Amino acid sequence: MKTCLVVDDSRVIRKVARRILEDLQFECDEAADGASALDKCRLSMPDAILLDWNMPVMNGLDFMQALRSEPSGDQPVVVFCTTENDMGRITEALRAGADEYIMKPFDSEIIQSKFEEVGLIA
């Protein structure tokens, strides 16, 4: 079973995303900001990370840049999932090492489609 870390400061979003991902056969863990996500990754690198951008303590972009410089930090597939839907923001995230990008609001079809694009689901 593949693992996915859901990083979002909204408990509701985490819950919705988790339910969708569990339906897609992912084992999920949650973090409410980038700093605690980084702590979890240092303990165990997940296969995938669904990542919000704007969060307290450490935002998604800063988290990803920190993650990518960790040992094995290049392994997780990072899928941004954010209300930021500006072309400039999207390219910024991709340049910084994101693999896919979801613009909120999302539903199960979008998550499935995007996870298929990066090969997390066959």
Partner 1 sequence: MMTPEDMKYVAAEAHRIAGLAIRPNQACLVEHRLAPLARAEGFETISAMLGSIRRDADPRLAKAAVESLACRESWFFRDRKPFDSFRQDILPVLARARGTERKIRIWCAGAGNGQEAYSLAMILEEEAERLGDIAVEIVATDFCARAIDRGRAGAFSQFDVQRGLSIQRLIHHFEQSGKDWRISAGIRRRVDFQQHNLLDASAALGMFDMILCRNVISAMTPDARKTVLTRLGRHLADDGYLILGEGETAAGAVDMFRSVRGKRGLYEKAAGDIAQAA
Q: Determine which residue in the list 13, 35, 110, 121 makes contact with partner 1, applying CB under 8 A.
A: 110
Of 34-93, binders to partner 1 (CB under 8 A) are 85-87, 90-91
By CB under 8 A, is residue 115 in contact with partner 1?
no
- Stretch binding partner 1 (CB under 8 A), from 4-12, 19-27, 57-65, 102-110: 102-110
By CB under 8 A, is residue 95 in contact with partner 1?
no
Q: Determine which residue in the list 64, 102, 115, 120 makes contact with partner 1, applying CB under 8 A.
A: 102
By CB under 8 A, is residue 94 in contact with partner 1?
yes
Cβ count near 11 (within 10 Å): 10
Task: Classify residue 63 as exposed, middle or buried by CB count within 10 Å of its CB (0-12, 13-18, 19+).
Answer: buried
* Displacement of CA 53 from its chain's centroid (Å): 9
| Gap between the Cα atoms of 5 and 51, Å rounded | 8
Q: What are the E-state strand segments in 1-122?
A: 2-7, 26-31, 48-51, 77-82, 100-103
53 versus 106: smaller Cβ distance to partner 1:
106
The tokens for 86 are 């500006």
Residues that bind partner 1 (CB under 8 A): 85-87, 90-91, 94, 100-103, 106-107, 109-110, 113-114, 117
